[in-house]
Amino acid sequence: MESREPLAIDRTGKDIHAEARQIRSRGQVAQIELPGGVPAYSVIGHEAARQVLADHRFSKDPRKHWTAYVRGEIGEDFPLIGWVLMDNLTTKHGADHTRLRKLTAKAFTPRRVEAMRTSIEKIATTLLDQLPTGEVTDLRAHYAHPLPAQVICDLFGVPAESRAQMLRGGEVNADTTISPEEAAANVVQWEEEMREFVASKRNSPGDDLTSDLIAAHEDGSRLTDSELVGTLHLLLATGTTPVMNLVTNATAALLTHPEQAHLVLSGQVPWQAAIEETLRVDAPVAHLPFRFTVEDVEVAGTTIPQGSPVLIHFAGIGRDPEVHGETADRFDVTRQDKTNLSFGHGIYRCIGSPLAWLETEIALSALFERFPNLDLAVRPEELEPQGTFIMNGRETLPVRLTGQAQA
């Protein structure tokens, strides 16, 4: 039984894996305290997480199932308010979730995604052409971010001049170091931007997913106005940050494990193995809010009371020693069992995973083919974490693009 004080989560995300070990020392499910002093539960055991992710007694809808929120005890001063107020798949339960998921998932089927291969390859090539050789450059800013950002903005028909601003809402939302005022202002701002964007697309629809979503909205109101705006926000955000983190984390892992990079670059181990191992050991989405218990639920010996907020610790789940043994923390592309839940599990499983896989495979193989002697420009311990406990990436990835660039 849990008897200690809940573990206060570090909002700066300074060392997500060290914090995960602390949480795990309390069990597969542990009581935590979120910024703003809000009590919650963290699910960090692999088995426990599989149960929770597939259990309908865990809702995603705060308006119906978070007792403190329904009672008005969670106000705009809650620093994670952005995660509560958005109206999209991340806050839907039951039939509402099924309806919205069907509409959104259509856009990301493996077949539709495969058709994007050539355009993603072109984007990667252009970005690589622009990287300055012989200098230290931030690979996150100049490659790992712009690649998925461009792909998702192209898909949704976002004009070049509004891209940075339209992506900002999701980036700020993922930053858990911001003040409650900034969090609340961000919600107002991105909602306004998305509404303006929808209005402009209504006037001049294009061959893009925003126009498809608008058509779905207008065809029998299968999508409300607020869901349309919330869904756009979600897809622009999820389309960029987690993919950027996967590319950044995989590149950092390979550059700090040259013997493993050699196995991959020599073709002895496929790129898929390096990507899967990165997903396991350095999950791009670290500690995700929210689920809410619709009744008291027992998980791994802990009873989570009805109406409690629950976070899923994907970064910890991938390193569960009960699944991966003593070497769970070690990056090893040759590991047989790379089991992880980093794209989720069950009915909420990531709808963007085929796209994320394709982008990451293209990004990494093109990068290392062009710069086989790519080198980290700082010591590994100098790589700064991302400044969030929800996501898991690096603030920058300084590399030296040495050697012969291969065009």
Q: Interface with ligand HEM by CB under 6 A: which residues?
A: 53, 89-90, 101, 104, 108, 152, 234-235, 238-239, 242-243, 246, 284-285, 288, 314, 342-344, 348, 350-352, 355-356
| Nearest distance in Å: CB 401, ligand HEM | 24
Of the two residues 361 and 401, which places its CB atom closer to ligand HEM in the complex?
A: 361
Contacts of 257 (CB under 8 A, 6+ apart): 331
Distance CA 130, CA 138 (A): 12
- DSSP letter assigned to residue 178: S
Tell the residue number behind the tokens 């050789």, with chain if given.
133
Of the two residues 190 and 377, which places its CB atom closer to ligand HEM in the complex?
A: 190
| Nearest distance in Å: CB 353, ligand HEM | 6
Of the two residues 6 and 352, which places its CB atom closer to ligand HEM in the complex?
A: 352
Of the two residues 120 and 333, which places its CB atom closer to ligand HEM in the complex?
A: 120
Bin 93: left if φ > 0, else alpha if -120 < ψ < 50, else beta: beta
User: What residue type is 109 in one-letter code?
Assistant: T
| Nearest distance in Å: CB 343, ligand HEM | 5
| Nearest distance in Å: CB 354, ligand HEM | 9
Of the two residues 186 and 392, which places its CB atom closer to ligand HEM in the complex?
A: 392
Of the two residues 78 and 314, which places its CB atom closer to ligand HEM in the complex?
A: 314
Cis peptide bond N-terminal to 290, omega within 30: yes
What is the token pair recorded at 278?
């990165």
Dihedral sign (CA 132, 355, 194, 291): negative
Of the two residues 104 and 137, which places its CB atom closer to ligand HEM in the complex?
A: 104
DSSP 139-162: HIIIIITHHHHHHHHHHTT--GGG
Backbone angles phi, psi at 395, to 5 degrees: -65, -40
| Nearest distance in Å: CB 5, ligand HEM | 27
| Nearest distance in Å: CB 276, ligand HEM | 11
| Nearest distance in Å: CB 393, ligand HEM | 10
Tell me how many degrees the CA angle 58-63-65 measures, rounded to the nearest 5: 30
Query: Which residue's CB comes closest to ligand HEM?
Result: 352
Q: Three-class SS string for 306-342?
A: CCCEEEEEHHHHCCCHHHHHHHCCCCCCCCCCCCCCC
**Cβ-contact 238, 359 below 8 angstroms:** no
Distance CA 6, CA 33 (A): 6
Of the two residues 85 and 285, which places its CB atom closer to ligand HEM in the complex?
A: 285
| Nearest distance in Å: CB 340, ligand HEM | 10
Distance CA 398, CA 19 (A): 25
**Cβ-contact 260, 331 below 8 angstroms:** yes
Of the two residues 190 and 348, which places its CB atom closer to ligand HEM in the complex?
A: 348
| Nearest distance in Å: CB 246, ligand HEM | 4
